[in-house]
Structure 1
Amino acid sequence: MLNPRLSEWGWTTTWVGDVQLRVDALGVRADGQADPYVVDLEFSTYDVEPPRVRFVLPDPYGQQPTSTSIWWPQFEGAPPFEFALHHSYPFENGTRPEQLVCFSHSRDYYYSGHSPQPGQRWQQGSHTVAATLTRLRHVLTAPYYQGPSGADPL
C-alpha cells in the first residue's frame, strides 16, 4: 500500500510504466498556501532498497527542473530526520552531477557516500514506500517548506 493518507493530503499517484510512479504532491507554506510539485518514484530495486526519489517537471514528465524553478522546492530548518535537497550532486561513481533527494528512504542516498546510522538504514521487509511518502510530506509542510525556489516555469 502506498499510503492511506495521500488523498487526505491532496496528493495523487499515477503509474508510469511498471516501476515508475508519478506523485502529484503539494507543498504547504506556513500561511496555508499550497504549491504543486511532481515527484518521480522509481522502484526497480524495491524493496531491497527504497525507491529513487526525484522532483521532476510535469511536462515533459520526468525532466529535472532548474534550481530556480517553480517545480523545485525550497526548505529551511531541520526536520526530525536527516534531509537535504541537492539540485546537482557529485555522486561517487563519476557520472555527471544529478539531483539528490537526500534521506534514508530514498535510494540515491545510499550511492552518495553517506554512512547512515543503524537506526536510519532502510530495512527490507520493514520499511515501505508509505514511510518514504510520509517523510516527503513532512518536509513539504511548514515550518520546513518555504515555497518554490523561483519563478522559472522549467
Structure 2
Amino acid sequence: MNALCRTSPELASAQFKEDLELIPRGYAERYGWNLKPDFDKLSLYVDMWSVDERYVRLDDFYVAMDMSYYRTWPPGVTFVNPETRAFEPDTDMRWLPSIKSKPPGTDIAYHPAYTLNTGETKQMICNSMCLEYYQSNHSPAPEEKWDPGRHKLFATLNLIQTMLTEPYYGGRAG
C-alpha cells in the first residue's frame, strides 16, 4: 500500500470544525465526554468513560486523535496516558481497554504496538474507522472502507464508545 497523504491543514481544520458540530446533541453528555479540540495542531483529545448498559461510568480513558489526514482518511486514534498524552506499551497498558466481545458485524482489535507501513511502531486500533488501519497492510471490504462523503468524526468516536460500553468492554488491558 502506498503512503497516505495528509490533507491540507486549512481543509482538514475546516472539515474538523464542521464535523465536530455534527456530534448528536446530548451524546457527549450521556457518555461524559470532554472534547478538547486544537484546530491549529489538528488534534482532538477526548476524555471518555467506559459504561455499563445503564450508562453508569466505570473507567476513564483518554484518546488522542490525529486529524491531519481528515476527512480524506479517518482520524488517527491512540489511547493515551492522561499525564503524558502519549502511550508507551511497557508502562501505559492500564490506559488501553480490552475487548470482552464484539458487536455483530464489527471487526476490531487493539494492538499496543504495531509496525505500520511507514516503519513507525505505535498503538493501533485495528478498524476501518481509524487511520492506522490504512497505514498497515489491511484492506477493508468495500462496505467497511472509510467513505469521506458518508463517514465523519462521529463514526470514529461512536465506534470507540461502543467498544467502551458493556457487554463489549472487557476492562483495562493492564
**Number of equivalent positions:** 148
The correspondence for 2:111, drawn from 86, 89, 99, is 86
> Greater helix percent: which structure?
2
If asked which structure has higher relative contact order (CA below 8 Å, sep 6+), I would say 1
Q: Structure 2 unaligned runs (5+)?
A: 1-18
Shift of 1:142: 1.0
Within 5 Å, which residues of 2 pair with 1:64-79?
64-66=87-89, 69-79=93-103
Q: Structure 1 unaligned runs (5+)?
A: none
Deviations 1:29-80 (A, max 9, x none): 579551000001111111000110110111122x104366321111122223
Query: Is 1:15–1:22's contact at 8 Å kept on the other side of the alignment?
Result: yes
Q: Residue 74 of structure 1 aligns to which amino acid in structure 2?
A: S
Structure 1 length-normalised TM? 0.87
In structure 1, the partner of 2:28 is 6
Query: Is 1:45–1:51's contact at 8 Å kept on the other side of the alignment?
Result: yes
Structure-2 separation of matches of 1:74 and 1:39: 14
The correspondence for 2:157, drawn from 126, 129, 133, is 133
Is 45-54 or 85-94 further displaced after alignment? 85-94
In structure 2, the partner of 1:15 is 37
Within 5 Å, which residues of 2 pair with 1:98-109?
98-109=122-133
Structure-2 separation of matches of 1:46 and 1:33: 30
Is 135-144 or 21-30 further displaced after alignment? 21-30
Structure 2 length-normalised TM? 0.77
Shift of 1:17: 5.2
3-state secondary structure, aligned to 2:95: coil
Structure-2 separation of matches of 1:28 and 1:107: 25
Percent identity of the aligned residues?
Answer: 34
C-alpha RMSD of matched pairs (Å):
1.9
Structure 1 residue 120 and structure 2 residue 166: aligned?
no
Query: Is 1:43–1:52's contact at 8 Å kept on the other side of the alignment?
Result: yes
Structure 1 residue 44 and structure 2 residue 68: aligned?
yes
